[in-house]
């Protein structure tokens, strides 16, 4: 890293535009990050943040605009060129190789033999200096999400970049891990690097950053020092209008237990996941049971076990409306009243090249009369798809449009709508608003609350603590395949949930949280 | 009666039978390590067999025959490369197409050589080895390609685990999106792997026609290309296990030649089924442990790669 | 001018029909160059290959007769390929159909039971199904790759047939030749078109095509198979079991291939021989892809492939190796797969702004 006086512009992007088929992702974007400064890049999903990062990292060539580094024009034609120019990026989706060791992973990102010399020692050294300890010889698949992020950061820091870009780095971390990360970021800033922090979480930006640039619809709508703004103003800039109200919680006395898991134990199909150990949960009619936890702690297996994609060892391990269903598949469970919104929209919740009409059949045929004597009723299917499109305001040309042509938010509206309109008494929802625009988030939350108020039991799995806290009536935490006892929402502090998410016992978490408070 | 001479003869035959399988399967192993399944091994072997034979028969130069067989296999494999890497064709379908093209092309252009005979390759004298008691007899009857196949297996194991090239190949096969994000040329690495796979299959085919039989007959691979693909799965993508597997197949295959030697009253057609049945059996045994396959299989194996521009 | 492929949000209609035609044109052009390169008059050779064989009524009947097995097997394979189930062993299932059907015909030899041929066909279909059940079982029970197992079983079936015609089913009066007796008349497929070899089995083709079209387009079972093929995760999510699609695909194709095998030995061949199929099971794979996995397309493609097989025999008279037929098949399959890219992608120049197909 070349030394630069504090405040001088390290990364200067001016007038960058990028056109994709059907969407102008960046429209004359200008952006600066100076030495010794943390700049937030704020924007909704689809505002153009990712495209800008890819341009800065040489993965995407802009149609127009120029990029300067430390005042000199830079031609970022490839990631290698960007790295040579002093840019390092920590991506939201880690580009790690599961079956390789930490050392091998890091070595792959280094372009010259000189850069790879004494690598293990240098990894340890950087780990010590920045509080990012990782063991070079561990296999990545065995690491937690937080440890994987550390590997990514160490990999980037080894090249001593003057400009560091972090793309949504906190979305997968516990509150405690976020604090640790922020410490590292401040340390890096104080060394004179320029830090770009990409996020849509306003609180984090307010507490960490020095300045914030807001993107909306591919354009910069403003750039302000953090001292001259607040979360409400930022939210308005980001969305362009008043923030929609989150629907109010309604206190319901517990209804009947509609879905229960009793001592559910199952090994994982993923050899590196913990599986499930003696998981017990009860979801009552009229409540939303939130399940918090860091990814990789058994979420996949719990969802598969509840939905019936994987069968439990015994009939009674899972009960639906009081009846044992542990050995029944997804179809039979749906007939008995269950519905399920999976985390992966395209390719699981919907068949990408199939029309919305055909995608309506996918799960709804189990509960609604869309099939007669084994023959699909094209008319009933079309009517159902139209009903979902209308009720959930899915923006699409028609029901004949392929699922893959919809934006993430619109497809999620369709999937949630399809599940809700099949009138389930139990709905399992995984990561429902991940990567979805604000309007769709509001619509989806409203639908969940409406279904809850109609007396259904909802199990909501999410990595977003804010979402869980806003919607849930009770929250349980999944850690290493074990489920904590659910806490009433009144007792759910972020601190306490965060401790549970990092493996503390209920008692420790309660004690630790009250101590901190 | 089973005597020492018969056992040595059987071992020699088994190792020679295994040699084309080792070459072809090692090539496919690299292709799969880079994330692609090329089911066209059979076609590439046939093309290697016919071109290798044509050159070997004409010139009598074995090195040249193997080189030409390798080039022919690699050239044919480029059809698969273009289909899969640029046109995003399903890998299975592209491999099948290669098998059919290779079979057709070798039969068409091999018409002139059909049924001709050439003088096979002599054994390689390695000073010292052939003087060993009992085993010396074995070593004195093996040709150079048998040793070369084993060297290739060792070299590939070394490259994969100990070199940066191997690390890059593994990374591309493990997660092509991450490799792309790091700036590795996924398409370039895969073209290289596919060409290597084609060349190795071509050498395997040329061994079959120039050394083992040594003559050219249409469709003479008789499913060996497919067995080579199965061997890679059987070996769970490890070169040493691949060699062991190939020797096992070699032994099973020569049972039909030596069945009479044991006084077995089993019809020759039933013995001829054995290699295929054994292939099915080992596939079943190895595949039933799904976790083991998942642990060892390259993460991006068979998946289409479409970089988001 | 650098080009780039951009996925279409929906397949192009024009390309769906145009791509197979383009592939055919490419294959014929390849043939032109090929014949030229071996010193034949390309126009005469192409005429002898593609036109002469169907210039007579008998030639047409032979085309229909050859297309029948290709179409029937191709229909089954198309269902399987759509469901992402890769049965490559139809050739073996065909051979088992021939063995099963042939065994019945020989067991009832000279008994004079009317309608024996129906029994021959049914047994053939069952035998083909049973052979196809092996890879299906190994796939669903042990997760064994169905491509490799079904393919290995072709060689096993081939040796089995060889063993039987050399032994148990050999003609006792045949001077030791490896072939069975000629079947009795009541075991042979009745002729549909007098004066030709076209038999009443041909009537099954429209029935099978319509039934499979209806099954795949309009029934829940067909929908499940399509979902399984397009997105296995979505199928699991929706509660469509993977074993079910494997079984349906294999049993259906096995029955059709077995039926074809029985109709071959009870039809044009008339006895059991060591070689009874000129690779129908493999050619049907090309038929399925060339027909874009749709029933009507498969039927059309089967006739084209039949022409390639017959034409290959025809140009043998000009001294062109018969292997030219297999070469054409391979080139055609490559061309079909390559041209499919036009259906799924648009080709644009890098940097060119594209707004005509907004992703709304």
Q: Round to whole Å and give the CA distance between C359 and A46.
A: 13
Question: How far apart are alpha carbons A131 and B241 in whole angstroms?
Answer: 43
The pLDDT of residue A248 is 57
How far apart are the C-alpha atoms of A383 and C87, rounded to whole Å? 37
pLDDT at A137: 93
Measured between beta carbons, which residues in chain C are less than 8 angstroms from residue B89? 337-338, 340-341
What is the structure's pLDDT at C7? Answer: 75
Count of Cβ atoms closer than 10 Å to residue A202 Cβ: 19
Residue A503 has pLDDT above 90, yes or no: no
In this complex, which chains have at least 3 CB pairs below 8 Å with chain B? Answer: A, C
Domain containing A100 equals 9-239
The answer to whether the Cβ–Cβ distance between A97 and B309 falls below 8 Å is no
Residue C225: CB partners within 8 Å, gap ≥ 6? Answer: C79, C82, C83, C216, C245, C248, C249
Segment B251-259 shows an average pLDDT of 80
Contact B104 C325 (CB under 8 A): yes
DSSP string over C112-131: --TTHHHHHHHHHHHHHHHH
Closest CA to A413 of A467, A339, A341: A341
Dihedral angle computed from the Cα positions of residues A267, A273, A276 and A277, in that order, rounded to the nearest 10 degrees: 90
Q: Are A400 and A357 in contact (CB under 8 A)?
A: yes
Closest-CA residue in chain A for C229?
Answer: A351
Rounded-to-integer distance, Cα B194 and Cα B75, Å: 10
Nearest by CB to B182, which of A109, A269, A271? Answer: A109
B306 close to C (CB below 8 A): yes
CA gap A127, A469 in Å, rounded = 34
Contacts of B166 in chain A (CB under 8 A): none
Could you give the number of structural domains in chain A? 2
Q: What is the pLDDT of residue A296?
A: 85
Q: Distance between CA A217 and CA A210 in Å, rounded?
A: 23
Task: Render pLDDT for C263-300 as a digit per residue (tens, 0 to 9).
Answer: 999 999 999 999 999 999 999 999 999 999 999 999 99
Largest Cα–Cα separation, chain C: 77
Whether the Cβ atoms of residue B191 and residue B81 lie closer than 8 Å to each other: yes
The yes-or-no verdict on residue A291 having pLDDT over 90 is yes
A311 and A211 inside one domain: no
What is the structure's pLDDT at A253?
Answer: 61
User: How close C166 comes to chain B (CA, Å)?
Assistant: 10
Question: Does the CB of B174 have a partner CB in chain A at under 8 Å?
Answer: yes
Q: How far is A308 from chain B (nearest CA, A)?
A: 20
Q: Which of A170, A205, A239 is the last residue of a domain?
A: A239
Q: Specify whether the CB–CB gap between C226 and C238 falls below 8 A.
A: no
pLDDT in tens, A305-324: 999 999 999 999 999 999 99
Beta bridge partners of residue B96, listed in sequence order: none
Q: What domains appear along chain B, each with residue ranges and CATH number?
A: 4-296 (1.10.3470)
Q: C292 contacts in A (CB within 8 Å)?
A: none
Q: Are A486 and A476 in contact (CB under 8 A)?
A: yes
In angstroms, the CA B28 to CA B21 distance is 10
Q: Find tokens 């592939």 and name the residue.
A: C23
Measured in whole angstroms, the distance separating CA A220 from the mean position of its chain's CA atoms is 24
> Rounded mean pLDDT of chain C?
92
Residue A438 lies in a domain: yes
Residue, of B188 and A144, whose pLDDT is higher: B188
- Which residues neighbour C128 within 8 Å (Cβ) at sequence distance 6 or greater? C93, C94, C96, C97, C100, C254, C255, C256, C257, C258, C259, C260, C261
pLDDT (average), residues A276-291: 95
Of B39, B108, B288, the CB nearest to C142: B288
Residues A295 and A192 in one domain: no
CA of C179 to nearest chain A CA: how many angstroms apart?
A: 46
Q: Report percent pLDDT > 70 for chain C.
A: 96
For residue A386, pLDDT over 70 is answered with: yes
Q: Which two tokens stand for residue A2?
A: 């070349």
Mean pLDDT of B136-152: 90
Q: Please tell me whether residues A289 and A227 are part of one structural domain.
A: no
Are A113 and A232 within one domain? yes
Assess whether pLDDT exceeds 80 at residue A245: no
Cβ burial of A2 (10 Å; 0-12, 13-18, 19+) is exposed
Q: Is there a domain that residue A16 lies in?
A: yes
pLDDT digits (tens, 9 = 90+) for A101-158: 999 999 988 878 888 889 999 999 999 999 888 899 999 988 888 889 999 999 999 9
How open is the CA angle B267-B269-B274, to the nearest 5 degrees? 105
Tokens representing B298?
């390259």
| C231, C240, C357 ranked by CB distance to A22: nearest | C357
Is A79 close to B183, i.e. CB distance below 8 A? yes
Phi and psi angles of residue B60, each rounded to the nearest 5 degrees, phi first: 70, 10
- Model confidence over B273-289: pLDDT tens digits? 999 999 999 999 998 88
Distance CA A312, CA A306 (A): 9
Q: Which of A353, A354, A361, A400 to mutate to test the interface with C (most CBs of C within 10 A)?
A: A353
Measured from the Cβ of residue A125, the count of other Cβ atoms closer than 10 Å reads: 13
Which among C9, C220, C355 is the nearest to A376, CB-wise? C220
pLDDT digits (tens, 9 = 90+) for B40-80: 999 999 999 999 999 999 999 999 999 999 999 999 999 99
**CA dihedral sign, ordered C236, B234, B100, C130:** negative
DSSP strand pairing (A37-42 vs A64-69): unpaired
Size of interface A-C (CB pairs under 8 A): 97
The answer to whether A100 contacts B181, with C-beta atoms less than 8 Å apart, is: no
Q: What angle do CA C29, C34, C35 make, to 5 degrees?
A: 100
Looking at per-residue pLDDT, the higher value among B163 and B129 belongs to B163
Model confidence at A242: pLDDT above 80: no
pLDDT for the residue A246: 55
Do A222 and A296 lie in a common domain? no
Judge if A209 and A271 occupy the same domain: no
What local confidence, expressed as pLDDT, does residue B262 receive?
Answer: 66
CB contact under 8 A, B269 and C162: yes
B280 touches chain C (CB under 8 A): yes
**Test mutation, A80, A99, A141, chain B, max B CBs within 10 A:** A99
Question: Does residue B118 register a pLDDT over 90?
Answer: no
User: Which residue has tokens 């016992």?
Assistant: A505
What is the CA A505 to chain-centroid distance, rounded?
A: 25
The string of DSSP letters for C247-272 reads: HHHHHHHHHHHHHHHHHHIIIII-S-
Nearest by CB to B101, from C142, C289, C334: name it: C334
Q: Are residues A267 and A194 in the same domain?
A: no
Q: What whole-number distance in Å separates Cα of residue B70 and Cα of residue C1?
A: 33
Averaged pLDDT for residues B228-247: 95
Which chain A residues are Cβ-neighbours of B290 within 8 angstroms? 269
For residue B309, pLDDT beyond 60: no
Helix (H, G, I), strand (E, B) or coil at C191: strand
CATH label of the domain that carries residue A297: 3.40.50.300
Alpha-carbon distance B117 to B210, whole Å?
9
Q: Which helix (H) or strand (E) holds B209?
A: none
pLDDT reading at B141 higher than 50: yes
Banded pLDDT at B99 (limits 50, 70, 90): very high
Report the pLDDT value the prediction gives residue A95, as an integer from 0 to 100. 81
Nearest CA in chain A to B175: A97
Q: Say yes or no: A81 and A145 in one domain.
A: yes
What is the pTM (predicted TM-score) of this model? Answer: 0.89
The CA-based dihedral angle spanning residues B228, B233, B234, B239, taken in that order and rounded to the nearest 10 degrees: 70
Q: What is the pLDDT of residue B129?
A: 76
Query: Tokens in use for B285?
Result: 């045994």
C227 CB within 8 Å of a chain A CB: yes
- The confidence score (pLDDT) of residue A514 equals 56
Same domain, A142 and A68: yes
Question: Is 70 exceeded by the pLDDT of residue A472?
Answer: yes
Q: How far is B182 from chain A (nearest CA, A)?
A: 6
Contacts with C163 (C-beta within 8 Å, 6 or more apart), sequence order: B267, B269, B270
**Nearest-10 crossing angle of helices A175-190, A119-130:** 100
Would an 8 Å CB–CB cutoff place A266 in contact with chain B?
no
Q: Which of B183, B289, B294 to mutate to test the interface with A (most CBs of A within 10 A)?
A: B183
Interface of A with B in 349-368 (CB under 8 A): none
B112: contact with C, CB 8 A cutoff: no
Clarify whether residues A265 and A138 are in a common domain: no
Q: Is the confidence at residue C129, as pLDDT, over 70?
A: yes
Which stretches of chain A sit within 8 Å of chain C by CB? 19, 21-23, 61, 63, 307-309, 329-334, 340, 342, 344, 347-354, 358, 361-363, 365-366, 371, 374-376, 378, 395-397, 401-402, 404-405, 407
Q: How far is B80 from chain A (nearest CA, A)?
A: 25
Asked if the structure places residue A19 within a domain, the reply is: yes
Domain boundaries, chain C: 65-294
pLDDT at A197 over 90: yes
Instruction: Check B273 against C328: CB less than 8 A apart.
Output: no
Stretch (H or E) spanning A26: strand A23-34
| pLDDT over threshold 90, residue B261 | no
Q: pLDDT tens-digit profile of A4-53?
A: 777 789 999 999 999 887 678 899 999 999 999 999 999 888 788 989 99
Cβ(A277)–Cβ(A269) below 8 Å: no
Give every strand in the sheet of A64-69, ordered side by side.
A23-34, A9-20, A64-69, A72-73
- B193 touches A: beta carbon within 8 Å: no
In whole angstroms, give the CA distance from residue A321 to residue A336: 8
Residues A451, A322 share a domain: yes
Partner chains of A (3+ C-beta pairs under 8 Å): B, C
Neighbouring residues of A375: CB distance < 8 A, sequence distance ≥ 6: C218, C219, C220
- CA-CA-CA-CA torsion for C162, C166, C171, C174, nearest 10 degrees? 120
- Does residue B178 surpass a pLDDT of 70? yes
What are the residue ranges of helices labelled H in B34-134? 41-59, 62-81, 91-109
Identify the burial level of B1 via C-beta atoms within 10 angstroms of its C-beta, where 0-12 means exposed, 13-18 middle and 19 or more buried: exposed
Helix (H) or strand (E) holding B41: helix B41-59
Residues of B in Cβ contact (< 8 Å) with A310: none
Cβ distance B108 to C327 less than 8 Å, yes or no, reads yes
- Residues of B in Cβ contact (< 8 Å) with A104: 167, 171
Q: What is the pLDDT of residues C82-107, one digit of tens each?
A: 999 999 999 999 999 999 999 999 99
Which C residues 266-285 touch B at CB under 8 Å? 282, 285
C191: contact with B, CB 8 A cutoff: no
Query: Of the ranges A275-279, B184-188, B262-266, C294-298, which one carries the lowest mean pLDDT score?
Result: B262-266
Q: Are residues A317 and A465 in the same domain?
A: yes
Residue B201 has pLDDT above 70, yes or no: yes
Kindly list the residues from chain A whose CB atom is less than 8 angstroms away from the CB atom of residue C218. 375-376, 378
**Is pLDDT above 80 for A516?**
no
Chain B residue at shortest CA distance from C331: B101
The answer to whether residue C356 scores a pLDDT higher than 70 is no
Q: Which of B160-164, C175-179, C232-236 has the lowest mean pLDDT?
A: C175-179
Assembly ipTM:
0.92
Q: Tell me what the mean pLDDT of segment A272-299 comes to.
A: 92
CA distance A112 to B128: 45
């Amino acid at each position: 890293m070349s030394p630069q006086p504090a405040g001088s512009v390290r990364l200067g992007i001016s007038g960058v535009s990028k056109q994709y088929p059907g969407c102008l992702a960046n429209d004359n974007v200008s952006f600066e990050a100076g030495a010794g400064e943390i700049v937030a890049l704020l924007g909704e999903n689809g505002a153009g943040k990712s495209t800008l990062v890819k341009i800065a990292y040489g993965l995407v060539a802009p149609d127009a605009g120029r990029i300067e580094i430390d005042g000199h024009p830079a031609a970022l034609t490839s990631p290698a060129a960007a790295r040579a120019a002093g840019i390092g990026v920590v991506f939201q989706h880690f580009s790690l190789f599961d079956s390789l060791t930490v050392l091998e992973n890091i070595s792959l990102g280094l372009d010259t033999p000189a850069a790879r010399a004494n690598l293990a020692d240098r990894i340890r050294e950087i780990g010590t200096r920045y509080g990012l300890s990782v063991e070079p010889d561990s296999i990545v698949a065995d690491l937690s999400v937080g440890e994987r992020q550390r590997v990514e950061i160490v990999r980037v820091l080894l090249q001593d970049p003057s400009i560091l870009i972090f793309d949504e780095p906190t979305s997968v971390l516990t509150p405690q891990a976020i604090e640790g990360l922020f410490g590292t970021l401040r340390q890096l800033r104080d060394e004179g690097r320029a830090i770009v922090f990409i996020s849509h979480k306003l609180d984090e930006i307010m507490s960490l950053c020095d300045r914030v640039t807001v993107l909306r619809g591919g354009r910069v709508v403003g750039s302000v020092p953090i001292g001259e703004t607040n979360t409400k103003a930022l939210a308005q800039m980001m969305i362009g209008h008043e923030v929609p109200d989150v629907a109010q919680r309604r206190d319901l006395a517990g209804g009947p237990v509609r879905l229960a898991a009793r001592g559910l134990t199952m090994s994982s199909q993923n050899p590196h996941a913990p599986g499930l150990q003696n998981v017990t949960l009860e979801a009552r009619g009229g409540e939303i049971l939130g399940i918090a936890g860091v990814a990789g702690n058994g979420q996949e297996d719990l969802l598969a076990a509840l939905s019936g994609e994987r069968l439990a060892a015994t009939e009674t391990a899972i009960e639906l409306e009081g009846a044992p269903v542990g050995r029944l598949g997804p179809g039979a469970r749906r007939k008995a009243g269950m519905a399920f919104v999976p985390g992966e929209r395209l390719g699981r919740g919907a068949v990408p090249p199939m029309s919305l009409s055909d995608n309506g059949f996918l799960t709804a045929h189990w509960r609604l009369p869309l099939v007669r004597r084994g023959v699909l009723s094209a008319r009933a299917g079309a009517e159902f798809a139209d009903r979902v499109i209308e009720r959930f305001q899915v923006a699409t040309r028609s029901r004949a449009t392929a699922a893959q042509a919809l934006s993430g938010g619109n497809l999620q509206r369709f999937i949630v709508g399809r599940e809700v309109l099949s009138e389930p008494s139990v709905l399992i929802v995984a990561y429902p608003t991940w990567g979805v625009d604000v309007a769709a988030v509001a619509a989806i939350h409203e639908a969940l609350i409406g279904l809850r108020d109609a007396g259904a039991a909802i199990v909501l799995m999410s990595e977003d603590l804010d979402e869980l806290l806003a919607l849930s009536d009770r929250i349980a935490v999944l850690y290493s395949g074990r489920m904590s006892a659910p806490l009433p929402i009144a007792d759910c502090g972020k601190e306490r949930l965060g401790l549970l998410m990092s493996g503390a016992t209920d008692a420790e978490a309660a004690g630790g949280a009250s101590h901190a408070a | 009666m089973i005597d020492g001479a018969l056992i040595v003869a059987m071992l020699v035959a088994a190792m020679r039978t295994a040699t084309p399988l080792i070459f072809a399967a090692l090539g496919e192993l690299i292709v799969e390590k880079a994330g692609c399944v090329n089911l066209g091994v059979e076609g590439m072997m046939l093309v290697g067999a016919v071109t290798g034979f044509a050159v070997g028969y004409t010139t009598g130069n074995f090195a040249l025959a193997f080189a030409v067989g390798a080039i022919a296999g690699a050239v044919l494999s480029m059809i698969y490369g273009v289909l899969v890497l640029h046109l995003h064709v399903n890998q299975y379908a592209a491999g099948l197409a290669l098998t059919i093209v290779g079979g057709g092309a070798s039969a068409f252009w091999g018409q002139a050589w059909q049924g001709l005979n050439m003088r096979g390759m002599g054994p390689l004298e390695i000073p010292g080895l052939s003087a060993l008691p009992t085993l010396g007899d074995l070593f004195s009857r093996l040709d150079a390609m048998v040793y070369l196949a084993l060297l290739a297996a060792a070299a590939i194991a070394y490259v994969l685990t100990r070199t940066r090239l191997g690390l890059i190949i593994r990374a591309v096969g493990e997660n092509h999106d991450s490799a792309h994000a790091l700036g590795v040329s996924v398409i370039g690495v895969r073209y290289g792997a596919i060409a290597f796979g084609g060349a190795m299959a071509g050498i395997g085919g040329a061994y079959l026609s120039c050394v083992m039989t040594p003559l050219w007959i249409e469709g003479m691979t008789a499913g060996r290309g497919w067995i080579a693909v199965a061997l890679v799965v059987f070996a769970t993508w490890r070169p040493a296990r691949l060699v062991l597997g190939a020797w096992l197949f070699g032994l099973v295959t020569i049972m039909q030649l030596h069945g009479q030697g044991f006084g077995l009253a089993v019809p020759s057609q039933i013995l001829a089924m054995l290699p295929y049945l054994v292939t099915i059996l080992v596939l079943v045994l190895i595949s039933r442990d799904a976790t083991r396959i998942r642990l060892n299989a390259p993460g991006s194996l068979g998946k289409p790669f479409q970089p988001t521009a | 001018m650098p080009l780039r492929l951009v996925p279409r949000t929906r397949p192009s209609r024009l390309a769906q029909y145009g791509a197979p035609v383009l592939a055919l044109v490419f294959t014929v052009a390849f043939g032109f160059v090929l014949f030229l390169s071996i010193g034949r008059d390309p126009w005469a050779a192409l005429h002898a290959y593609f036109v002469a064989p169907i210039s007579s009524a008998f030639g047409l009947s032979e085309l229909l007769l050859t297309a029948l097995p290709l179409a029937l097997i191709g229909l089954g394979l198309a269902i399987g390929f759509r469901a992402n189930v890769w049965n490559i062993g139809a050739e073996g299932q065909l051979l088992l159909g021939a063995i099963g059907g042939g065994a019945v015909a020989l067991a009832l030899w000279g008994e004079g039971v009317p309608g024996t041929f129906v029994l021959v066909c049914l047994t053939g279909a069952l035998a083909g199904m049973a052979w196809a059940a092996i890879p299906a079982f190994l796939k669903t029970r042990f997760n064994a790759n169905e491509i490799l197992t079904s393919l290995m079983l072709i060689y096993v079936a081939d040796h089995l047939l060889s063993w039987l015609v050399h032994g148990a089913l050999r003609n006792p009066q045949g001077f030791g030749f490896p072939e069975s007796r000629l079947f009795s008349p009541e075991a042979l497929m009745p002729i549909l078109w007098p004066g030709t070899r076209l038999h009443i089995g041909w009537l099954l083709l429209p029935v099978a095509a319509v039934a499979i079209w209806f099954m795949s387009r309009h029934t829940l079972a067909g929908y499940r198979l399509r979902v399984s093929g397009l997105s296995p995760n979505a199928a699991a999510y929706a509660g469509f079991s993977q074993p079910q699609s494997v079984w349906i695909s294999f049993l259906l194709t096995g029955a059709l291939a077995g039926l074809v095998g029985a109709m071959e030995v009870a039809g044009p061949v008339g006895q059991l021989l060591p070689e009874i199929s000129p690779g129908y099971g493999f050619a049907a794979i090309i038929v399925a892809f060339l027909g874009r996995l749709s029933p009507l397309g498969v039927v059309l493609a089967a006739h084209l492939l039949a022409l390639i097989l017959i034409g290959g025999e025809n140009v043998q008279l000009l001294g062109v190796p018969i292997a030219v037929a297999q070469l054409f098949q391979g080139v055609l399959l490559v061309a079909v797969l390559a041209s499919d890219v036009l259906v799924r992608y648009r080709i644009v120049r890098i940097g060119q702004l594209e707004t005509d197909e907004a992703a709304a």
